[in-house]
């Protein structure tokens, strides 16, 4: 369990528009969040430095350095949260489809939010334990618990809610916003209790993953896809592979470690892709064109949105 040295950047939003004036705010945050740590060091120096016998100063120095790091992270989180509150009063973050252009207010504020959040998330991700990471998510209004492991992959820092006991695999990407062509799409991603997300899985915005479900490695979901509870999913876009019985209270001996018929397994994996093709062809024969238009996908959860507005 070791993070590759080229992938230790922490939660990250690709292609964020960074403007020069956002950079001023960013540098201001870095500056102000290092100050409390320096204050701590100064107080320590005043209390323990002795020119003749500097022993005590050196004995507790390693612990102080650890404390300074944690203080810096917490200060960064607090100051960023304060700036975020002001920004969210100026413009409330909301879901929807926006134009990816600086003239669009939502896009501008989305990139501003993500630029500001970068510093505390990067800093907390540099700490080898996941506590600070989870704290960071919690403060930025991502619903999560400390038992979740969101440490090894990339997870967006807004419009996501996690249940209890979620495992997010190595190199998995869980998004709530995505850029497609000239559009920015923000949808709320909901992941419920006991979901096991495999390595390298891509979860797109608006996905709703039900309880006790497992995602196989390299599977990916589509915008607004609903995954039912208690199933194992596979492939891109994710499809039902088999019923998930691994959460039941079964004796350990019953689990078979050997894949008996390997050819059969290959067929099982291939069938999913073939079936999709067959279904598509059947629709074409009936003169119904299968549409993959963005508009159709976004209306998948139309009813829910209407309830929220009311």
> Which residues within the stretch 247-306 sit at the binding site for another protein (CB under 8 A)?
247, 250, 252, 254-260, 265-266, 268-269, 272, 275-276, 279-280, 283, 288, 290-292, 296, 300
* 111, 115, 176, 212: residue in contact with another protein (rule CB under 8 A): 212
Nearest CA to 109 among 19, 11, 223? 19
- Pairing type for strands 239-243 and 231-234 reads antiparallel
Lookup result for tokens 């998004």: 175
Measured from the CB atom, the residue of 21 and 258 that comes closer to another protein is 258
By the rule CB under 8 A, 70 interacts with another protein: no
Site for another protein in 8-27 (CB under 8 A): 8
Q: Write b or e for each residue in 103-139: b if 16 or more Cβ atoms lie within 10 A of its Cβ, otherwise e.
A: eeebbbbbbbbbbbbbbbbbbbbeeeebebbbbbbeb
By the rule CB under 8 A, 244 interacts with another protein: yes
* 45, 147, 180, 284: residue in contact with another protein (rule CB under 8 A): 147
Question: Among 89-97, 108-116, 150-158, 183-191, which window interacts with another protein (CB under 8 A)?
Answer: 150-158
By the rule CB under 8 A, 128 interacts with another protein: yes
Give bridge partners of residue 232 from the DSSP assignment. 214, 242
Give bridge partners of residue 178 from the DSSP assignment. 185
* 48, 169, 229, 305: residue in contact with another protein (rule CB under 8 A): 169
Measured from the CB atom, the residue of 100 and 125 that comes closer to another protein is 125
Helix (H, G, I), strand (E, B) or coil at 191: strand
Site for another protein in 86-115 (CB under 8 A): none
* 91, 183, 216, 294: residue in contact with another protein (rule CB under 8 A): 216
Helix-helix angle 20-48:61-90, to 10 degrees:
150
Helix (H, G, I), strand (E, B) or coil at 176: coil
Cβ proximity of 198 and 232 under 8 Å: no
Measured from the CB atom, the residue of 256 and 310 that comes closer to another protein is 256
């Amino acid at each position: 369990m070791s993070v590759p040295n080229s992938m230790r950047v922490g939660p990250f939003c690709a292609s964020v528009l960074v403007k020069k004036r956002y950079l001023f705010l960013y540098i201001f945050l870095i500056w102000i969040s290092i100050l409390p740590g320096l204050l701590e060091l100064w107080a320590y120096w005043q209390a323990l430095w002795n020119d003749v016998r500097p022993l005590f100063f050196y004995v507790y120095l390693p612990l102080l350095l650890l404390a300074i790091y944690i203080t810096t992270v917490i200060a960064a989180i607090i100051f960023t949260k304060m700036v975020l509150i002001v920004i969210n009063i100026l413009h409330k973050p909301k879901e929807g489809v926006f134009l990816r252009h600086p003239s669009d207010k939502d896009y501008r504020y989305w990139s501003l939010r993500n630029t500001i959040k970068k510093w505390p998330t990067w800093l907390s991700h540099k700490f080898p334990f996941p506590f600070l990471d989870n704290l960071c998510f919690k403060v930025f209004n991502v619903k999560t618990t400390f038992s979740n492991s969101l440490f090894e992959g990339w997870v967006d820092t807004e419009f996501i809610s996690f249940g209890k006991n979620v495992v997010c695999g190595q190199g998995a990407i869980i998004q709530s916003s995505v850029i497609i062509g000239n559009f920015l799409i923000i949808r709320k991603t909901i992941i419920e209790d006991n979901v096991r997300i495999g390595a390298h899985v891509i979860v797109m915005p608006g996905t709703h993953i039900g309880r006790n479900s497992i995602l196989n490695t390299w599977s990916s979901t589509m915008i607004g896809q609903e995954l039912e509870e208690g199933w194992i999913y596979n492939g891109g876009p994710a499809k039902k592979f088999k019923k998930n019985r691994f959460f039941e209270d079964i004796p350990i001996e019953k689990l078979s470690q050997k894949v008996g018929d390997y050819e059969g397994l290959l067929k099982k994996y291939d069938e999913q892709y073939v079936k999709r093709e067959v279904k598509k062809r059947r629709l074409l024969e009936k003169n119904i064109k299968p549409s993959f238009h963005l508009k159709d996908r976004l209306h998948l959860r139309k009813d829910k949105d209407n309830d929220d507005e009311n």
